[in-house]
Structure 1
Amino acid sequence: MKVLVPVKRVVDANVKVRVKADNTNVDTANLKMAINPFCEIAVEEAVRLKEAGVVSEIVVVSVGSKAVQEQMRTAMALGADRGIQVEAEDELAPISIAKLLKAVQDKEQAQLILMGKQSIDGDNNQTGQMLAALMDAPQATFASKLQVEGNTLLVTREVDGGLQTLKLPMPAVITTDLRLNEPRYAKLPDIMKAKRKPLDTVTAADLGVTLKSHQNLVSVNAPAARQAGIMVASVEELVEKLKNEAKVI
């Protein structure tokens, strides 16, 4: 069984981001970059399935410039077998990413596409759903538990009302949530081995995909600074301020 795991390069979740002076985008110069946390969970789950003898090969794929190879090597150090980089210099919309992943899947014919539910930079939560639609494949989003039973998947997913369990045939697209697992740390010997694992580079043209612009980034602004709170002496004073100053009641 082959698993395809898309990953994205993002600013490390522990780094405080800053906006460029001209408000055109986030300034990523000299910032630490990492695998998107939800993508890392997907990699970990694929590795656990391989360790359980369910999965035979893990293929990690990423769309971006040559810089994404750093995160792909990290995924290989965690247990992925090989990588595919789809070259792209510009930031692409989720639908464009989904089209490229669909083209990669057409070549790889993986039984399972396991990916993060969203990236922490765009927060779109769209790529997995769009990929499943393009593939005409079943999907389960926000997965908190995943079991493979023969040619079917048993997926527990988090919904507003609690937990929902779905049974899906393969191939299928699964997007991972935080409670699915806790990713491991890469060991030094595995990091060294990852440097020798195969990593192929392809272009959109190689995949037969024609991309076009679907959206324009108008401006980026930092969130407004939060004002300091105040202490009140009684419930009556709190109600009075909510009513007359905040005007929320």
Structure 2
Amino acid sequence: MTAELLQGRIALVTGGGSGIGRATCRILEREGATVVACDIKESTARETVNLFRDPSKHLALMTDVSKAESVDATISAVVAKYKSPPTLLVNSAGVTGIGPMKSFKEDSFKNCIDVNLKGTYLMCKAVANAMEKHGLNKGSFVNIASITGILGLKDNSCYSASKGGVIAFTKAISKELIHDGIRVNSILPGPIETGMVSAHAEIVQQAIRERTPIGRIGQPEEVGEVAVFLLSDRSSYMVGSSVEVTGGYIC
């Protein structure tokens, strides 16, 4: 990609303070986009922006994607700075939910759904409405789901359910928003070297590698590159797609 491909585009990334979100932010900046890095911790979002060549051109915000008022405040802050809402969106904010279903706490289940699924809904809705209000009719959204949303993962029923919901939600709204000039697609990562995976003991990580034909755990940048491709015009005929980035992983 050339820098001109995304030059002048405003891209908002949730979960931008770490992992796949941070990697995606860095690739977007490399490709010429103006980046809004959002995270539940503003300090980590700021760390991401400070990695850029000219941090002053970009924006770091604290955003709780599970709360509509926080999402709306984020969009207002973007418009206040740039006089325009974002037209590129990556929903990467997410939490895990590990534990057997029979003993999994209801509050933890709700939090997993609120962040992973409801947060994706709130952000897509807010950006799409802001684009319409400003008369913008070209955009692209990428929702980070998970291969567990298709395969299911033992002792991860809540996480699997939330990510399965993201896949279905993406397919549904892609049929609506394409009429507004917005393409929506999802990425289904397998095991990626983020906090969620590295928190596991080495024996667990080795078991993951053994179930991955490529023989290793993926890097956040390998998902970020696909996200930026889906945001760009190079994926112009992709609508409602679910792109697996898994190394062949089998749960």
The bucket for the TM-score relative to the shorter chain is 0.3 to 0.5
Instruction: Tell which has more relative contact order, 1 or 2 (C-alpha 8 A, sep 6+).
Output: 1
Larger Rg, first or second structure (1 or 2): 1
TM-score with structure 1 setting the length: 0.37
Q: Of Structure 1 and Structure 2, which has the larger fraction of its residues in strand?
A: 1
More helix per residue = 2
